[in-house]
Structure formats: structure tokens, C-alpha cells
């Protein structure tokens, strides 16, 4: 039975958050926490709703042993704050967008930067927590996103173990 629900949020839900969703799911499964933590993703905008992940994201995931082929983009809805325990934004602009649509202070408390889970980033400036959007760049930007997400996944799994007593 799932006891903790997480949504990973970027702008369009075709690059960063799908990469994060795939990596976090794998890491949680490897840690034996996949039955306790559900991970989904969404975008703050609806431009790509219903589309698969960007082909560069899928290629990057595949080249690193992950399967990102089943993704379908969707837009985060204000009512979803009710269902999620944690909403992880990929950058500070996504945080601002989420805070703007959050219905109340309780919902805003659920928002956190995904990059804050990268080990060694405690106390760093908010900008250093951003996972940069690779959409307008080349494949190397997607590789960089994957490395940041994998580092954050390590800290996230440790946090979930602590929270869930596993």
C-alpha cells in the first residue's frame, strides 16, 4: 500500500520531469520503497499535454539503462495539491508557478526544489538548486539533467527511508 505521493514538476512535462520520474521510480524500486512511494510528473504549462517525452530525453534515458518510452505529458492542476504529499519543482520558475496556483498555505508547504536533495547542496543559494531546462539546447543538456536528477534521487531515497522508517 502506498503511503507517500510525489509529483515532479517542470514547465512542459516532456524533458526534465519525465527524466526525474523514471529515475526516481527506478531508485525507489531498487531500495524496496516502490510499494510505499508513488512518483508521477506534470508540467506547469499545458503546451505538450498528451505528448510523449522529448525524443532527446528518451534517448538519454535509454542510453543510461532507463525506459522513458511510456510517458504522456500532463499539466499540474491546483486540485492535485490535495492528493500529493510532496511537489518537487525542477527550477525556481516552476516553484513560482506552483505557488501562484496553490490554493492555500498548506499546499505551498508541499512545494520543494528537487535539486535540494542533491547531497552537499544544503544551505546553497536557491539558483543552485535549479535543474536547467535542456529543451532549447543539445543532447549534452539532457545528460546534465540526468546526472543532477540521479544525484537528487540518492538524497530523495534517503529522505523517504527516514520518513517512512524503512
Q: Which residues are catalytic?
A: 10, 16, 133
Contact between residue 95 and residue 89 where contact means Cβ atoms under 8 Å apart:
yes
Grid-cell match 543510461, residue found: 64
Sequence length of the chain is: 166
Please state, in angstroms and as integers, the Cα–Cα distance from residue 88 to each residue in 40, 65, 68, 117, following that order: 10, 24, 19, 10
Give the angle subtended at the CA of 152 by the CAs of 150 and 158, to the nearest 5°: 110
Contact (Cβ atoms closer than 8 angstroms) between residue 144 and residue 132:
yes
Show Cβ contacts of residue 9 under 8 Å, excluding neighbours closer than 6 positions. 17, 41, 42, 43, 44, 76, 87, 88, 89, 90, 94, 98
- Residue with cell string 543532447: 139
Amino acid at each position: 500500500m502506498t503511503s507517500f505521493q510525489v509529483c515532479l514538476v517542470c514547465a512542459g512535462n516532456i524533458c526534465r520531469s519525465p527524466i526525474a520520474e523514471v529515475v526516481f521510480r527506478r531508485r525507489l524500486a531498487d531500495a524496496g520503497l516502490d510499494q510505499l512511494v508513488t512518483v508521477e510528473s506534470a508540467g506547469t504549462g499545458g503546451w505538450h499535454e498528451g505528448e510523449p517525452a522529448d525524443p532527446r530525453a528518451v534517448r538519454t534515458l535509454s542510453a543510461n539503462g532507463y525506459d522513458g518510452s511510456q510517458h504522456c505529458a500532463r499539466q499540474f492542476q491546483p486540485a492535485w495539491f490535495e492528493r500529493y504529499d510532496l511537489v518537487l519543482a525542477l527550477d525556481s520558475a516552476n516553484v513560482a508557478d506552483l505557488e501562484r496556483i496553490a490554493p492555500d498555505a498548506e499546499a505551498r508547504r508541499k512545494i520543494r526544489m528537487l535539486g535540494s536533495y542533491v547531497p552537499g547542496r544544503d544551505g546553497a543559494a536557491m539558483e543552485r538548486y535549479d535543474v536547467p531546462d535542456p529543451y532549447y539546447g543539445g543532447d549534452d543538456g539532457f545528460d546534465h539533467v540526468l546526472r543532477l536528477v540521479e544525484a537528487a534521487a540518492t538524497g530523495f531515497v534517503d529522505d523517504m527511508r527516514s520518513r517512512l522508517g524503512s
